[in-house]
Amino acid sequence: MSELTLLLIRLAFLAVLWFFVIAAVGVIRTDLFGSRATAPAAVRKPAKPARQPAKPKKGEPRQLVVTGGPLQGTIINLTETPITIGRANDATLVLSDDYASSRHARLFPQDGQWIVEDLGSTNGTYLDRSKVTRPTPVHLGQPIRIGKTVIELRK
Amino acid sequence: MSAVDVAAVPMTAKRRGAQLVMLAFAVAIVMVAYASVGLGLNGQVPAGMLGYGLGLGALMLAAYLVLAKFAPWADPLLLPLVTLVNGLGLVMIYRIEQSAPKLASASNQLFWTALGIVMFSLTLIVLRDHRALQRMTYTAGFVGIGLLILPLLPFLGKEINGARIWVGVGGFSIQPAEFAKLALVVFFAGYLVAKRDILALAGRRLLFIDLPRARDLGPVLITWVFSVGVLVLEKDLGTSLLLFGAFVAMLYIATQRTSWVLIGLALFLSGAFVAGQLFSHVKARFDVWLDPSDPVLYERFPGGSAQLMQGLFGMGSGGILGTGLGQGHPNLIPLSFSDFIFAATGEELGLTGLMAVLMVYALIVERGLRTAIAARDPFSKLLAGGVSFILAWQVFIIVGGVTNLIPLTGLVTPFMSQGGSALLANWILIALLVRMSDAARRPPPQAIQDEGLTQVFQR
């Protein structure tokens, strides 16, 4: 086996190795750099487009408004920080409600939408009419009920 | 998942075709590498090439079929990427076996790979929902600690090369620490899901960091004591660093508090410093790290720098493009088939090849972290994050050690080094990631009718 052949084999092998890496990056291109075209994204990312029709493109919610219960009318401006709701003094929205737990629920932003998560409360958190059993995205104007308090997200 | 389901849910993106192509590509690269070793060594394609190559191909096809059946939505890249590193490891071990046929054994490693695939498949088949692990949080914790302590028991534990990390079972010796790390990651994830609110919220602000309360330091202190215990009693620097790093990283993922990382770093550095003063084997590693080219240290045995220097010489003579497969001298590096396989690979594939291998590891970790981001419940987020971190951390510790960036700690290069326990444990780890990425990428159940109190879901 001549030196030249071995050199060529060596270089070809390294090239093939890198080609594999590049091909692998190609497979996951969409979630590395985000999808530019919407069509491939719809094919590749099943979870998110499924929710899009329900979420109108009015931009993101800016405020959390208490629409029912003793604290009715309270407004909290939404930032990037998660919001905790409950009877504990360190909660963002402190409820004085016998039906609420001390750390009842949490609202947090993820990928531009707000997610509500029940923190193991005694009486449960309700989004619309369904009980929140796992972190669930909240859309604008959807009522979240915690004990006697009803809150919703608004623009 | 039947064809009817696929039609009802319009946005299928299993990408199984891509996965199969990449898998075939990975097996093809391994076969080319194998042929290249033979050509480099004695100018002919090795006789066993088809046997080894087809064997690996058949194993991976089996793994693929299990994955397609039991985790159809799983990430398309994990299996091909792991196949490539595992296959390259096999080729390197075969190559080292050819020039130093004492301890390296490619057929042994192929056997363990097969067993690894069996474990991978079993994990996928048995563990249909990874959240079942959350119910076993404390069981996993006890199992993990038990496995860590196992080598210390008399009669059962064995001391090889100065580290007491082996357990002899029949004719085999296994390293329980490899499995302990899996159990402990499950435990950390379950525990932190339950406690993360306290660990994240309580505390006060000092200067620019949020300090936790003193009494919340308990868990991190206990883990620290354990990892120092492993360091002192079993003389296993690698596992010690691995476990503590994994816990601190998962604490950070769970609470998003930088102060935990700083506290963890401070604890580990102080622990390592004190251990360096008190124990000669730790101090020897430090000395070697600081000045490996010192002739006194080079000549010293045991605990000298000869092995490290041979590895560095090897990588140096490899240069940018490497000497070519089969044309280096990996037999000069002690333990080049296990701890120093990265240096041996570096000699023959050069910097270009090493970077490609590191990229493959990085992609595996990226897929794992992506799974953690896409996961829907906090337990899977933490478990996927922890599992991918542990893989990345392991690669960092051993590659950093071999290249003398950090003190050398004996740890296997995941999937590449010869060693059955590590291979099995890492294949189970990948099975966990595949299971979680399947759950994360699976589209949410679709409601069949729109409204009404009773909703009918199609699964």
How do strand A113-118 and strand A105-110 relate by DSSP bridges? antiparallel
Q: Give A78→chain B minimum CA distance, Å.
A: 18
Mutate to test the interface with B, among A14, A89, A134 (most CBs of B within 10 A): A14
Q: Which of A25, A119, A129 sits opposite B453 (nearest CB)?
A: A129
- Quick one: which of B67, B37, B40 has its CA closest to B52? B37
Q: Running DSSP on this structure, what letter comes out for residue B367? A: H
**Which residues in chain A are closer than 8 Å to B15, comparing Cβ atoms?**
27, 44
Predicted pLDDT of residue B420: 83
| pLDDT tens per residue across span B88-112 | 999 999 888 888 767 778 888 888 9
Asked if pLDDT for residue B296 goes beyond 80, the answer is: yes
- Ramachandran quadrant class, B256 (left: phi over 0; alpha: psi -120 to 50; beta: rest): left
- The mean-pLDDT minimum among A98-102, B18-22, B162-166, B438-442 falls in B162-166
**Distance from C-alpha of B265 to C-alpha of B16, rounded to nearest angstrom:** 42
Can you name the residues that pair with A153 across neighbouring β-strands?
Answer: A64
Name the least confident of A22-36, A88-102, B132-146: A22-36
- Which residue matches tokens 């608004």? A154
What's the rounded Cα separation, in Å, for the pair B449 and B40?
66
Q: Are A137 and A48 in contact (CB under 8 A)?
A: no
Chain A residue whose CA is closest to B24: A20
**Which chain B residue is nearest to residue A54, measuring alpha carbons?**
B450
Distance from CA of A86 to the nearest CA of B (A): 13
Assess contact for B292 and B305: CB atoms under 8 A: yes
List C-alpha distances in Å: B29 to A135, B151, B163, B320, B359.
43, 38, 36, 20, 16
Task: Indicate yes or no: CB of A25 within 8 angstroms of CB of B376.
Answer: no
| pLDDT at B456 > cutoff 70 | no
B139–chain A nearest CA distance, Å: 22
What's the Cα-to-Cα distance from B21 to each of A43, B327, B371, B390, rounded to whole Å?
Answer: 19, 30, 22, 28
Cα separation, B156 vs B144, whole angstroms = 17
Length of chain A: 155
> Which residues pair with residue A109 across a beta bridge?
A114
- d(CA B346, CA B49) in angstroms, rounded, equals 23
Average per-residue pLDDT for chain B: 83
Query: What pLDDT shows up at residue B8?
Result: 35
Span A33-65, pLDDT tens digits: 554 444 443 444 444 444 444 444 456 788 888
Residue A102's contacts (CB-CB under 8 Å, 6 or more residues apart) are A86, A87, A88, A91
Count of CB pairs separated by less than 8 Å, A with B: 110
Which letter does DSSP use for residue B190 in this model?
Answer: H
Which of A29-33, B165-169, B286-290, B305-309 has the lowest average pLDDT?
A29-33
Burial classification of residue A44, based on how many CB atoms lie within 10 Å of its CB (0-12 exposed, 13-18 middle, 19 or more buried): buried
Looking at residue B410, what DSSP letter applies? -
Contact A46 B352 (CB under 8 A): no
Q: Against a cut of 0.80, is the pTM above it?
A: no
The rounded distance, in Å, linking the Cα atoms of B250 and B188 is 7
Is residue B120 within 8 Å of residue B428, measured between CB atoms? yes
- For A6, nearest residue in chain B (alpha carbons): B40
**Which pLDDT belongs to residue A37?**
43
pLDDT of residue A34: 52
Answer for the pair A107, A80: CB distance below 8 angstroms, yes or no.
no
Report whether the peptide linkage leading into residue B302 is cis, meaning its omega lies within 30 degrees of zero: yes
CA distance B284 to B125: 46
Beta-carbon contacts of residue B455 (< 8 Å; ≥ 6 apart): A130, B447, B449
Asked if residue B334 has a cis previous peptide bond (ω within 30° of 0), the answer is no
Residue of higher predicted confidence among B396 and A73: B396
Is residue B253 within 8 Å of residue B382, measured between CB atoms? yes
Q: According to the model, what pLDDT value does residue A42 have?
A: 40
Range in A31-40, A119-128, B261-270 the model is least confident about:
A31-40
Q: Which residue has 């003389």 as its token pair?
A: B235
**Residue carrying structure tokens 């792991």:** B82
- A46 to chain B, any CB pair closer than 8 A? The answer is yes
Q: Which of B293, B317, B288, B316 is nearest to B303 (CA)?
A: B288
How many beta carbons lie within 10 A of that of residue B215, not counting itself? 8
Question: Each residue of B15-51: pLDDT tens digit?
Answer: 788 889 999 999 999 998 988 888 888 878 887 778 8
Say how many CA atoms lie within 13 Å of B99 toward its Cβ. Answer: 24
Which of A21, A46, A117 comes nearest B359 by C-beta?
A: A21
